Amino acid sequence: MSALPLNLTPGTWNLDAAHTEIGFSVRHAAIARTHGRFTADSGVLTVGESLEDTKLEVTLDVASVNTSNEGRDEHLRSADFFDTATHPKAHFVSTKISGEGSALTVDGEFTLRGTTKPLTLEVEFAGVVTDPMGATRCGGEATAELSRKEFGLTWNAALETGGVMVGDKVRLQIDAEFIKDNA
């Protein structure tokens, strides 16, 4: 059994959406990366006595996509990409959490646009603190990479010089905080 990282204690930890960002980037026009983010809708980290008994579940609001360009965001919400009218949420559920200290790996199933595929998050766990209001918080950073085509996001346009407008590989950068439920 793997020990819990740092001073994390068993219990229910609820996602603090106000202090969580789910960012992404993808190659644009084969020369640069376009960045965006989503709003986390809800999440629960259920910490057991060991990492093997610990589960993570997060839902995000896909319609919240924000790339700082409203026209592009509307296109991303359309059926060409996320089809948020039909699939407004994305969902991640862990299947295995492993590692030691602050370096963790969270394997899970990610559902986007009605398709579920395995996804591995590499996590740098930052630890546990008590904030000035007395709430116990934990948090950290996670990264992952996925193929957008595997989730049915296949829209693209050919470039005159070769290549395509939107790359396939999407990088995820997640900064998250959870608050321990003391009820």
Query: What one-character-per-residue DSSP string does 97-118 give?
Result: EEEETTEEEEEEEEEETTEEEE
Going along the chain, which residue ranges are E strands?
11-15, 21-28, 32-47, 55-66, 89-100, 103-112, 115-130, 136-147, 166-180
pLDDT for the residue 8: 84
Looking at residue 81, its amino acid is: F
**CB-based contact 37:22 (threshold 8 Å):** yes
Q: How far apart are CA 74 and CA 69, in angstroms?
A: 9
Per-residue pLDDT of the chain in tens (183 residues, 90 and over written 9)? 666 666 788 999 999 999 999 998 886 666 777 888 998 889 999 999 988 999 999 999 999 999 988 998 998 899 988 899 999 999 999 999 999 888 999 999 999 999 999 999 999 999 999 999 999 999 999 999 998 888 886 766 565 776 655 677 889 999 999 999 986
